[in-house]
Amino acid sequence: MTIDSTRSLPAGPRQSVELDPDEALRLLGSVSLGRIVFTRHALPTVRPVNHVLVDGDVVIRTHEGAALTSHTEEAGGSGVVVAYEADVIDPDTHLGWSVVVTGYAHLVTDPAELARHGGLLAPWVRQTMDYAVRIRPDLVTGVRLTAADDLPDVGTPALPAPSAP
């Protein structure tokens, strides 16, 4: 494997600006691909998945035998703690945003709700996706990565004058 090191670094520093939860969810809803993070054999596991927002919850499709399906099914009504991350970050400028939703994942068991999600979210892998997982956000965080010169100048705090000996 060859690594292309000819790419130049973006000019200037970057600033991370916190997003409010409503803006973070709006951005999350504007893309369809993200990463689900859950525990498998006591270790963190990350899977790329597609998603849709339904009534403020993140919904993903899965299949029988998938690690997330099994783990969520074993937890029963209490659900399992997961994190869901999505972002749009330009590979050349390093500008963009990232959102993380943390909450409990539950298998969708209601046939009508499962059918509704099936109509909203088409699988992007060639596999039967006959399960759905709904993540109810308990914590929504996000950052926007901006060029430092795009931000208003708030000034640099002045240092106190040295005192006389």
User: For 6-54, what is each residue's pLDDT tens digit?
Assistant: 666 656 788 999 999 999 999 999 999 999 999 888 899 999 999 999 9
CA–CA–CA angle 19, 61, 24 (5° rounding): 5
Q: Which amino acid would we find at residue 14?
A: R
Residue 149 and residue 41: Cα distance in Å, rounded? 45
Residue 165 has pLDDT above 70, yes or no: no
- Using alpha carbons, list the distances in angstroms from residue 107 to 33, 87, 138: 19, 24, 17
Give the percent of the chain with pLDDT over 70: 80
Q: What is the pLDDT of residue 7?
A: 60
CA–CA–CA angle 49, 57, 114 (5° rounding): 70
Under CATH, to which class is 22-149 assigned? Answer: mainly beta
Q: Could you read off the pLDDT of 45-93 as tens digits, one per residue?
A: 999 999 999 999 999 988 787 888 888 888 877 889 999 999 999 998 9
Domain residue ranges in the chain? 22-149
Q: Where are the alpha helices (DSSP H) in the chain?
A: 21-29, 67-75, 111-120
Nearest partner of 135 among 14, 54, 24, 15, judged by Cα: 54
Burial class (CB in 10 A: 0-12, 13-18, 19+), 5: exposed
- Supply the pTM of this predicted model: 0.80
Q: Could you read off the pLDDT of 140-149 as tens digits, one per residue?
A: 999 999 988 7
